[in-house]
Amino acid sequence: MKELVKKYKSVIKFIVTFLLVYAVLTFAYKLYLDYSDGSEYYPDYMTNLVAKQTEALLNNFGYEARIERHPDEPSMKLIINSKYLARVVEGCNSLSVIILFASFVIAFAGKFKTTFFYILAGSVLIYVVNLFRIVILSIGLYHYPWRREELHTVIFPLIIYGMVFLLWMFWINRFSSLKAANE
């Protein structure tokens, strides 16, 4: 058993680090959601911000978009040209994807400064791509409502998770301590 642990030390370290960081960040995010009272920013600040930015981008693209509180659930209704299209829910704010991304990068951490700035830049990129993903999804739903399932469950998750995967691969191959240890 001791030999196996020694042989797979780096794998075990990665798994333990990833799980610990992921658990801590997820717990912190849960606390954030639990203490978001929704009075000023409904349902929570980040989801509200994503909804407002989606509305602004859609308006800039020539659509008459508006958002409003959903009366029956913690979400924002997205309306384009008086047509209720979608809900912006907590899962749309990209924070859970950013937590997953950051946990992986930390588990393969390089130098502190490099790791910090890569997580910061990657998080901003994920947030922006997610925002445009929601805008494009909304436009797609407006023009092609019969493609709702394909757009929401296949195409757009592929975009966001595909980009996260590429960011991970770039990190491993360019900056992580794993690459430095193997050279």
Q: What digits encode the pLDDT tens for the residues 29-82?
A: 999 998 887 778 899 999 999 999 999 999 999 999 999 999 899 999 999 999
Which residue bears the tokens 């739903």?
141
Instruction: State which residues form the domain around 1.
Output: 1-179
175 vs 123 pLDDT, higher one: 123
- What pLDDT, on a 0 to 100 scale, did the predictor assign at position 182? 45
Overall average pLDDT of the 12-30 stretch: 95
- What pLDDT, on a 0 to 100 scale, did the predictor assign at position 183? 46
H helical segments located in 9-111: 9-34, 45-60, 95-107
Rounded distance between C-alpha atoms, residue 65 and residue 57, angstroms: 9
Query: Which one-letter DSSP state was computed for residue 153?
Result: I
Does residue 180 register a pLDDT over 70?
Answer: no
Overall average pLDDT of the 105-131 stretch: 94
95 vs 4 pLDDT, higher one: 95
Average pLDDT score over the chain: 90
Does residue 178 register a pLDDT over 80?
Answer: no
Report the phi/psi class of residue 50: left, alpha or beta, with left for phi > 0 and alpha for psi in -120 to 50: alpha
- What pLDDT, on a 0 to 100 scale, did the predictor assign at position 181? 47
Banded pLDDT at 109 (limits 50, 70, 90): confident
The total of structural domains in the chain comes to 1
Rounded distance between C-alpha atoms, residue 131 and residue 4, angstroms: 45
Does residue 177 register a pLDDT over 70?
Answer: no
Banded pLDDT at 176 (limits 50, 70, 90): confident
